[in-house]
Amino acid sequence: MNQKKIPWYFLLLLILAGESVFILPFVLARVFRPTVLNTFGLDNIQLGLCFSTYGFVAFLSYLFGGPIADKFPPRKLIAVALWMTALGGLLYASFPSYTVLKILYGYWGFTTIFLFWAPMIKATRVWGGAASQGKAFGFLDGGRGLVGALFGAMGVYIFSLFITSEISEITISESRAAFKQVILVSSGIVTLVGVLVWFFMRLDKKTEKEIIIEKITFSQIAEVLRLPSVWLLMIIILCAYVAYKITDVFSLFAQDVMLYDQVASAQVGTFLLFIRPVIGVIIGILADRSKITFWLVISFIISFFGALLFALGIISDSSTLLFFLSILIVATGVYAARSLYFAVMQKGQIPLILTGTAVGLISLVGYTPDIFAGPAIGYLLEKSPGVTGHQHVFWMLALFSLIGSITSLYYYKLYKKKIT
């Protein structure tokens, strides 16, 4: 496809939208995990089951939402998804019961995936063109990381503004009042991003016509399923996404093992978010200048060795420097893999016009950790409270990183001699 050069602000809007839509269901819980558990009266297993409800709805949304992305312009689907997600924030801010909270997460599974996920990936691939897939997806994930980090920092700041007691003496009602403000401000920003996307994230008519199919046929779906790259990416993304889900526990690790208070543990979560944009940009540039699939292999290997640092139990409350160094190693591997796994679609000879359908099918398996990872992590943490539970979680990370390494190595060898 000989497309007209798409401006940088198109990618910037994609980056802004790409993380904003996940702020309410995921980023706030990652940064404020101890606060979320306390204010909603949940344990780790219950929060994991909320994520599972999201995952079950998302599972079906990937399947049916993928082809939708090949039929409609990305900006319209993305904008509507942002507005619907922000609407759920109003219910979230009321601190509903556990049952209602699970329903809300199911609703978010629909709004963030059915209308959003495949259009975002397809639009990013279109922006990258033939020569800049690593840069496009590296900048997308790195930029999303920066947006998430800024939301996290903003959230911590807003939360601290509404805390008048000593940190060690915060009551549940005071935590709720402060966290409610964080949720409402986040919802307002997500709504505003939707407005910007609707009016400014436009493709020229020629490009838009070239990437849209009027009708998706079973033969086209079969064409996608015949590609080895599609099946390999299912496994690669599954492993990388389990690793990404496990990064949610770093703020809890800071509280349980490093003995940090609520604000300090949230700051650890925010620190993690600021690593992501740096890794995304660096790996995106490196991947476009060399073998993109090679760097995918390296990212899983780094993640594996980083996981061992935690799994072997050598980090304690007296080893602060080692704690942050280990976070940096794990984050480098996890975020690099996350930046690259869709960037290798072109190397795997997946047709651009069928990107939405391919993403839907790949994600059907690749993002099943939304269903099982949360409860599995919660079970491991609750069954063995404290250091031991966290060690078990990081052994889980090491296992999936190893499987990801082997699968991505096979992908690298299979498409090594094929032209991008």
- Give 114-130 pLDDT, tens digit per residue: 889 888 888 888 877 76
Under the banding of pLDDT at 50, 70 and 90, the label for residue 221 is: confident
pLDDT of residue 420: 40
Instruction: Considering only residues 212 and 48, tell me which one the structure prediction assigns the higher pLDDT.
Output: 48
Which of 116-130, 178-192, 336-350 has the largest mean confidence?
A: 178-192
**Alpha carbons 282 and 299: distance in angstroms, whole number:** 12
Under the banding of pLDDT at 50, 70 and 90, the label for residue 139 is: confident
Under the banding of pLDDT at 50, 70 and 90, the label for residue 406 is: very high
**Alpha carbons 250 and 323: distance in angstroms, whole number:** 10
Q: Is the confidence at residue 58, as pLDDT, over 70?
A: yes
Listed as own residue / partner, the contacts of 258-263 with beta carbons closer than 8 Å and 24 or more positions apart are 258/317, 258/320, 258/323, 259/317, 261/167, 261/168, 262/32, 262/34, 262/35, 262/38, 262/167, 262/170, 262/175, 263/156, 263/159, 263/160, 263/163, 263/167
Q: Is the confidence at residue 2, as pLDDT, over 50?
A: no
Instruction: Considering only residues 283 and 261, tell me which one the structure prediction assigns the higher pLDDT.
Output: 283
Domain ranges of the chain: 8-202+217-414
Residue 211, classed as helix, strand or coil, is coil
Architecture of 8-202+217-414 per CATH? Up-down Bundle (1.20)
Q: Is the confidence at residue 242, as pLDDT, over 50?
A: yes
Residue 154, classed as helix, strand or coil, is helix
Least confident of 150-159, 176-185, 204-213, 262-271: 204-213
Residues comprising the chain, all counted? 420
Residue of 119, 173, 155, 117 whose CA lies nearest to 27: 155
Q: Is the confidence at residue 419, as pLDDT, over 50?
A: no
Under the banding of pLDDT at 50, 70 and 90, the label for residue 329 is: very high
Are the CB atoms for 3 and 123 separated by under 8 Å? no
